[in-house]
Amino acid sequence: MEFLLGVLLSRLLVTPEFLARTYTDRLSGAARQDAINEACKIHSYRYSYQMISEEQIKKILDVNNEITPLRAARNKFAHFCWSRSSDEEIFGTNFSGGIPMGSKYNKSFVSFTVAELDEIHKKAYAIVDVLSDLILNLPEMEEVALGSKVKLLRE
């Protein structure tokens, strides 16, 4: 999903995908989402939807908002230690230090049922499909003959 966010950002920034990766590969998922939101604002306010339609921008912003809760779940899977509570539930903890109280403590463990995991899985795959479709319908800056598409400084 994060890779597709990078590709989407390259399209919004009208930059060849490979070149854009020098920038997007260093961004976290949250930073990519923020950059996508900013690029959408620029297409709206500065370019008045000339390159990318208002409808496309709305779809991009909608799917970007749907990604945030999935990213939070993904981060828990990536950074927590997991074990099976029962056949229907898994339990994860981040093993962070500190006094066991307050909001940080409440965020240090989580459990998911098999049904919740299935729902997260379905949502993630659906979003990947939407992102792929959005990318295919956005203008692409191709690397071939890139020099002819930009103003070059002449001596």
Phi-psi region of 5 (alpha: psi -120 to 50; beta: other; left: phi over 0): alpha
Please state the separation of Cα 7 from the chain's center in Å: 10
User: Residue 79: what pLDDT?
Assistant: 87
State mean pLDDT over 52-76: 94
pLDDT in tens, 66-91: 999 999 888 888 888 999 999 999 99
User: If you average pLDDT over residues 33-56, what whole number do you get?
Assistant: 97
Q: 98: pLDDT confidence band, cut at 50, 70 and 90?
A: low
Residue 109 pLDDT class (50, 70, 90 cuts):
confident
Domains in the chain: boundaries:
2-145
pLDDT digits (tens, 9 = 90+) for 10-23: 999 999 999 999 98
Whole-prediction pTM: 0.84
Confidence class for position 53, pLDDT limits 50, 70, 90:
very high
Dihedral pair phi/psi, residue 138, rounded to 5°: -105, 150
Q: How many CA atoms lie within 13 A of 95 on its CB side?
A: 5
Q: Does residue 43 surpass a pLDDT of 60?
A: yes
Count of alpha carbons within 13 angstroms of residue 90, beta-carbon side: 14
Predicted pLDDT at 95: 74
Number of H helices, E strands in the chain: 6, 3
